[in-house]
């Protein structure tokens, strides 16, 4: 017998050799139906894996990230088998699971077309119906090389030859199809229920331009057709909400070929940007921050002192001034250090919170650029908090509260990740352990759920990352809190303690929006361009029915403008139905139709975006209602519909 410790801490005994699938069946029929893989002492394994000794066992379903990867990696093998059935002689590259799907790379004389994808899908369906067992077999290096050489799979031979000498080499078969793979996989092809091939692309073998260009087929798969249908719907909705498309249509912003990766903001886009910055300044002033501004270009010696020259140089831009090397700043932090260092500080001055809306530039490769989401220049809403060691926990908790307040304003849910020491890092393990435990302690004190993201910290310290969830369920990493013991040391920052001696402060780096440009892109897609009234570039458009109503329309406009409402009049010689449709296309929160009755009664006929006709009301009554909506920063109720 073997003792199996389960996720809930319970311990069960099973005969030696019991499989993971049999453990799942013993726990519940429902779990057995949904199981796709398991974990033995933290290692992901297939359901047919026998348990030979006492172990911690976890049953994985599609809802678990590791289980989802197993499901989709098995789907990639299904794709490869179908391609080789339809196009004999096709050689295989690699076929991993990726975020939201999978792909496989092929070397084929046949040039794949979108029409081919339908035929391949049909063949994949056939393989699913055949319900072929997926069988793992471990082989020697020599046997693997000989086998793949015999069937002409040169890419697999190369992969085997590059494996470490002590690597376990395994192959998986399903019917007459055999592939090199570490696994694990589903037990049979019949467990794959719903899949769709999505697109075609070119990809260099092993990502190197020196190698041959292969053909990549992307796909996705789900345990239920309803889940696949929902995913495809979300993709279509994402296209409709694409901030690049809406940015042009709503005249907000664009990227031009004269400045790839450098955004242009139009007047209406600047209104959104200015409103965000205004809100940012109000909230930071309430939280005790002082705003500063530091130069965009600073000399090389500063970046050497900060460590960016050694750890971040490939992402920086350079210039020469008076025959000396200067750098365009990729971060605001070193400038804040100089501001702090410019004065003598007492322990009574701390914590000192300095905030900056700083323009930074980073050299992103052209292939990574994407609208406002990935650019080469952007404004970071940075802040740096200089504090006593005893103030760390309280300050981190204060930042968490500030971030939470911001995101609730926009109606965002979020999750938190704690990122630990990366491979390239400054400082001792002891310092890193102290910094990481301080962040963890603050999160626990706030009662916040979080997950550990190993090795993804900044080079100077661990961090807390906030991942926003938008209307389509996508997540975006925006806010971050980074605890830093390194920079104060490098810049010799000090404060005078109660004992009259100099001491080293601790500092926090943090952002809330992250990048204002990127946050605007996220908001555009989240609201599908229908911004809440407080952010909307045009909050009200007045629509006179005929020429004789122009005078009253101008009176309404003046009334609104005097009260700080952004309004305009559509006095074109067009039918009122056309004007209404045009206002809806522009996603203006409120359209006010005015005719004889409205002019006579000092009223307006109100149409609200997404809700339609709201009826007539007095102009003063409407104005009061809108001012309250703007003041409370109310979000549209149907933003996600």
Segment holding 31, helix H or strand E: helix 29-34
Alpha carbon of 200 to those of 79, 80, 134, 203, 351: distances in Å?
13, 14, 27, 10, 54
Question: Cα(3)–Cα(55) distance, rounded to whole angstroms?
Answer: 7
Do 637 and 618 meet the contact criterion of CB atoms below 8 Å apart?
no
On the CB side of 622, how many CA atoms lie within 13 Å of its CA?
27
For residue 613, report the phi and psi dihedrals to the nearest 5 degrees. Answer: -70, 125
Is 110 annotated to bind a ligand? Reply is no
**Backbone CA torsion sign across 435, 441, 443, 445:** negative
Whole-number Å distance between alpha carbons of 306 and 311? 10
- Tell me whether residue 384 is annotated as binding: yes
Q: 131 — alpha (psi -120 to 50), left (phi > 0) or beta? A: left
d(CA 383, CA 361): 17
The Cα–Cα gap between 87 and 92 comes to: 12
DSSP 104-160: EEEE-SS---HHHHHHHHHHHHHHHHHT-BEEEEEE-HHHHHHHHHHTT-HHHHHHH
Q: Report yes or no: 483 and 396 within 8 Å, Cβ to Cβ.
A: yes
Report the phi/psi class of residue 256: left, alpha or beta, with left for phi > 0 and alpha for psi in -120 to 50.
beta
For residues 423 and 433, give the distance between their C-alpha atoms in angstroms, rounded to a whole number: 15
Catalytic residue set:
333, 362, 380, 382, 384, 463, 509
Give the number of other Cβ atoms within 10 Å of residue 558's Cβ.
Answer: 11
**Strands 540-544 and 567-569, how do they pair?**
parallel
Q: Is 333 labeled as ligand-binding?
A: yes
Structural contact between residues 466 and 439, judged by C-beta atoms closer than 8 angstroms: no
Run of H or E residues at 57: strand 55-61
CA atoms of 157 and 142, how far apart (whole Å): 10
Binding residues for Zn(2+), as ranges, are 333, 384, 509
Binding residues, as ranges, are 333, 384, 509
């Amino acid at each position: 017998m073997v003792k199996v410790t389960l996720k809930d801490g319970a311990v069960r005994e099973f005969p030696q050799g019991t499989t993971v699938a049999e453990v799942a069946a013993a726990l519940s029929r429902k779990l057995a139906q949904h199981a796709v893989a398991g974990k033995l002492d933290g290692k992901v394994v297939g359901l047919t894996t026998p348990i030979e000794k006492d172990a911690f066992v976890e049953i994985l379903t599609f809802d678990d990230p590791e289980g989802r990867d197993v499901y989709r990696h098995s789907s990639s093998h299904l794709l490869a088998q179908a391609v080789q059935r339809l196009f004999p002689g096709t050689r295989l590259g690699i076929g991993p699971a990726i975020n939201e799907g999978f792909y496989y790379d092929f070397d084929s004389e046949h040039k794949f077309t979108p029409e081919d994808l339908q035929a391949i899908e049909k063949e994949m369906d056939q393989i699913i119906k055949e319900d072929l067992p997926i069988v793992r077999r471990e082989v020697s290096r020599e046997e693997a090389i000989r086998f793949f050489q015999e069937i002409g799979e040169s890419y697999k031979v190369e992969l085997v030859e590059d494996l470490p000498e002590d690597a376990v080499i395994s192959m998986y078969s399903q019917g007459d199809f055999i592939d090199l793979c570490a696994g694990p996989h589903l037990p049979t092809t019949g467990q794959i229920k719903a899949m769709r091939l999505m697109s075609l692309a070119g990809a260099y073998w092993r990502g190197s331009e020196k190698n041959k260009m292969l053909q990549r087929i992307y796909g996705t798969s789900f345990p239920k057709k309803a889940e696949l249908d929902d995913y495809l719907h979300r993709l279509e909705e994402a296209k409709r909400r694409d901030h690049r498309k809406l940015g042009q249509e709503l005249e907000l912003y664009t990227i031009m070929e004269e400045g790839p990766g450098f955004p242009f903001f139009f007047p209406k886009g600047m209104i959104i940007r200015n409103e965000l910055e205004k809100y940012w300044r109000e909230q930071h002033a309430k939280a005790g921050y002082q705003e500063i501004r530091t130069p965009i270009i600073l000399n090389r010696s500063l970046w050497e002192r900060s460590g960016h020259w050694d750890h971040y140089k490939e992402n920086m831009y350079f210039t020469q001034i008076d025959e000396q090397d200067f750098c365009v700043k990729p971060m605001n932090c070193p400038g804040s250090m100089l501001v702090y260092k410019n004065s003598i500080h007492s322990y009574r001055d701390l914590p000192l919170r300095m905030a900056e809306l700083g323009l930074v530039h980073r050299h992103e490769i052209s292939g990574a650029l994407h609208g406002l989401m990935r650019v080469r220049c952007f404004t970071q809403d940075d802040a740096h908090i200089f504090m006593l060691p005893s103030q760390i926990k309280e300050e981190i908790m204060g930042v968490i509260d500030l971030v939470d307040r911001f995101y609730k304003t926009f109606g965002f849910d979020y999750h938190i990740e704690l990122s630990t020491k990366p491979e390239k890092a400054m400082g001792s393990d002891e310092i890193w352990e102290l910094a990481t435990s301080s962040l963890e302690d603050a999160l626990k004190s706030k009662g916040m759920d979080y997950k550990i993201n190993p090795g993804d910290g900044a080079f100077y310290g661990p961090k807390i990352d906030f991942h926003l969830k938008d209307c389509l369920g996508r997540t975006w990493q925006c806010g971050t809190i980074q605890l830093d013991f390194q920079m104060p040391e490098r810049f010799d920052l000090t404060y005078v303690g109660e004992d009259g001696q100099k001491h080293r402060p601790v500092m926090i780096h943090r952002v809330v929006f992250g990048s204002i440009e990127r946050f605007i892109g996220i908001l555009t897609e989240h609201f599908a361009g229908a911004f809440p009234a407080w952010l909307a570039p045009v909050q009200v458009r007045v629509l006179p029915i005929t020429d004789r109503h122009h005078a009253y329309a101008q009176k309404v406009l003046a009334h609104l403008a005097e009260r700080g409402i952004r309004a305009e009049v559509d006095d074109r010689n067009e039918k009122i139905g056309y004007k209404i449709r045009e206002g809806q296309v522009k996603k203006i929160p409120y359209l006010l139709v005015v005719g004889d009755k409205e002019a006579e009664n000092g009223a307006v006929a109100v149409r609200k975006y997404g809700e339609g006709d709201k009826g007539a009301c007095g102009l003063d009554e409407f104005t009061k209602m809108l001012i309250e909506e703007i003041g409370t920063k109310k979000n549209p109720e149907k933003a996600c519909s």
